């Protein structure tokens, strides 16, 4: 570890790197998102997103959304966030009925998956106006869904794992 950043939160819940930049974001238990420039080794901004803990954050750096992050809080709310402008672009309340554990971003389409303690996986799209639209819900796990990933060799498929002891794809 070469660089350490201290936060004013009990816990850091998630981090994500921008694919073509030196930017890293972190999601904090106190509902704040931090943006870091890793080349300069400095904190660029801190933005309060939610009164609830933020459990996960992912860059959504597809062709038309270069400065966007997808954020999920413990209330089951999903946000699109422009890290350069430091502003929330859209909010989808009750996207899940329990904690959202992970966000998986599609590399070529404006899509992302979420998995949750409500035992579901959901596929969302980002519309041209940055609004979040539910495309499909997947059920079948019998316990919390802990992770979900798009298949890098066939991005029309994904895998998930659950505390029910299963991996599904």
pLDDT truncated to tens, each residue of the chain (169 aa)? Answer: 456 566 665 678 888 888 767 899 999 999 999 999 988 989 999 999 999 999 999 999 766 667 899 999 999 999 999 999 999 999 999 999 999 999 999 988 999 999 999 999 999 999 999 999 999 999 999 999 999 999 999 989 999 999 999 999 9
Which sequence spans correspond to the domains of the chain? 12-168
> What is the SS3 assignment for the chain?
CCCCCCCCCCCEEEEEECCCCCEEEEEECCCEEEEEECCCCEEEEEEECCCCCEEEEEECCCCCCCCEEEEEECCCCEEEEECCCCEEEEEECCCCCCCEEEEEECCCCCEEEEEECCCCEEEEEECCCCCEEEEEEECCCCCCEEEEEEECCEEEEEEEEECCCCEEC
CATH 2.130.10.10 fits 12-168, yes or no: yes
């Amino acid at each position: 570890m070469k660089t350490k950043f201290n936060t004013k939160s009990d816990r850091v819940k998630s981090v994500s790197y921008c694919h073509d930049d030196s930017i890293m974001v972190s999601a904090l238990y106190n509902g704040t998102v931090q943006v870091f420039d890793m080349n300069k080794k400095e904190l660029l901004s801190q933005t309060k997103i939610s009164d609830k803990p933020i459990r996960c954050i992912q860059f959504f750096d597809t062709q038309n959304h270069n400065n966007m992050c997808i954020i999920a809080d413990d209330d089951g709310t999903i946000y699109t966030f422009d890290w350069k402008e430091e502003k929330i672009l859209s909010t989808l309340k009750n996207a899940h009925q329990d904690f959202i554990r992970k966000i998986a971003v599609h590399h070529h389409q404006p899509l992302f998956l979420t998995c949750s303690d409500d035992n579901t996986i959901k596929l969302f799209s980002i519309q041209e106006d940055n609004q979040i639209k539910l495309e499909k819900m997947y059920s079948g796990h019998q316990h919390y869904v802990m992770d979900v990933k798009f298949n890098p060799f066939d991005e029309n498929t994904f895998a998930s794992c659950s505390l029910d002891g299963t991996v599904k794809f």
